[in-house]
Chains A and B, each alone.
Chain A
Amino acid sequence: MSDKKMGFFLGCIMPMRYPGIESATREVLKSLGVELVELKGASCCPAPGVTRSFDQTTWQAIAARNLTIAQSLGVNVLTICNGCFDSLFETAHQLNHDPEKLKKINKILKEVGAEYKGETQVRHFVEYLHNEVGLDAIKAKVKENGGKPLKAAVHYGCHFLKPSNVKKIDNPERPVIFDEIVEALGVKSVEYKDKGTCCGAGGGVRARTPDVALKMTKENLTNMKAAGVEVIIDCCPFCHLQYDVGQAELKEFGIPVLHLSQLMGLRFGLDKEKLGLEVHKTPVKL
């Protein structure tokens, strides 16, 4: 199975709230020679923080149905969201390695005429760019004098690398994989206090206790601001939303938030109109 052709898993927040992330992802991957296939009929991954918290079987069955769509097209799955990555990767990992679990989930899928064979792989945008596309290919696309931003706070989020005994992508305490891509784009990834801390939104916390979520976000923003960054770069639409909408809710900071795909769009010299920046609640003036 060639991983130059990938099933593009859309999820929810990207296509409905930040479609600019979707168009940027499609454009930059196209320019890097990656073909994206539509996973027609896919649903919510479903959101791990809430769905998995409520019922792990339902969570896994819906995730497995999504995997069967890629399976029927003969492609692996690519996602630009840590939440989708968590649901789909974790489900694929468990079902691809545990025949008993696979049997249990397939019993449910049988009711909807589907069967998961336990072979599909799920990849995260950042890991895919780093290990499949490669830093040199990315560097080659960067336009000279790409302008601002020059100093970025890279935010990994939680479910891209963790749990690391399952994801096995990079060291969860001192990762470099995402920073290396940002630096390949000619942007300085700045060290800041407690880098690697959760944005605050996950696990159903933003929905249930938004004030608690916002306190966590505020602490991260304070540390980012102290490091003098011009922009926050994320790799997850939910972290993206938490930082972007969060700053509007906090009524302070004003640090623009970009998904990696949008930053790539800027550095590749893509038409800014294609990045959908006007819906950001924290204005992006770069």
Chain B
Amino acid sequence: MTTAAKKPDAEFAKKVVEAGGKTLNLCFQCGTCTGSCPSGRQTAFRTRKLVRRAQLGLKDDIMKSDDLWLCTTCYTCYERCPRGVEIVDVIMALRNMAVREGNMAPQHKKIAELISKTGHMVNLRDEDKVLRKKLGLAEVPPTVLISPEALNQVKKICEVTGFYKLIEGGSK
């Protein structure tokens, strides 16, 4: 059995650099990142391979992969890289690109909706209000929750940056 050769995208690495992964091309594949990764210790995620795929422009392997989303952004690889590759910045650039192509997990979509529509990533439940009051705190935290005007500002920002469109399914 043979496998078809993968088609690299020669422009891809450039786009990653432009999207914030400035140090991508410094990687010489030593694997310190993979050896340091707490997520890779539990899964098949290999940081070094992800970086190599980005350098080679194996776009399809990256954009739809689960690997891209197994990084907890703990920065251990970033700190230890002997070449100064700011790996978390590379991964963030790749994730931004993947999302623009419509690859956002439903669980992530839910959080993005919460933040952009309510201004917070978790909701305030009745039981939270009860406890806050008991603790002597304001029942409702003095955040966007008490200011429709402030919430509208957050919403407007999401509109201006195209964030809502991204959540709806990318903006290729």
Contacts and interface: CB of A to CB of B under 8 A. Distances in A.
Contacts of A41: 142-144, 146-147, 149-150, 153
Interface in A244-286: 273-274, 276, 278-279
B40 to A, nearest CB: 10
Interface size class of A (residues with CB under 8 A): 35 or more
B83 interface: no
Contacts of B99: 53-55
Given A43-B143, A50-B112, A53-B96, A162 B128 contact: no
Contacts of B111: 47, 50, 204, 207
A213 B43 CA distance: 10
A200 B73 CA distance: 10
A19 B131 CA distance: 7
Contacts of B20: 56
A23 B41 CA distance: 37
A203 interface: yes
A124 interface: no
Nearest to B93: A56
B17 interface: no
B42 A215 contact: yes
Interface stretch (A106-114, A130-138, A179-187): A106-114
Contacts of B161: 55, 57-58, 61, 108
A73 to B, nearest CB: 12
Interface residues of B, number: 67
Interface of B: 20, 38-39, 41-43, 66, 69-76, 78-79, 86, 88, 92, 95-96, 99, 104-105, 107-108, 110-112, 115-116, 119-125, 128, 131-132, 134-137, 141-144, 146-147, 149-154, 156-158, 160-163, 166-167
Interface of A: 10, 12-13, 15-17, 19-20, 22-23, 26, 38-44, 46-58, 61-62, 65, 108-109, 111-114, 158-159, 162-164, 172-173, 197-198, 200-205, 207-209, 212-213, 215-216, 219, 273-274, 276, 278-279
22 contacts: A16-B141, A17-B122, A23-B135, A38-B142, A40-B143, A40-B146, A40-B147, A41-B149, A43-B143, A50-B112, A53-B92, A54-B108, A61-B160, A158-B73, A203-B74, A204-B69, A205-B39, A205-B69, A205-B70, A208-B105, A215-B42, A219-B41
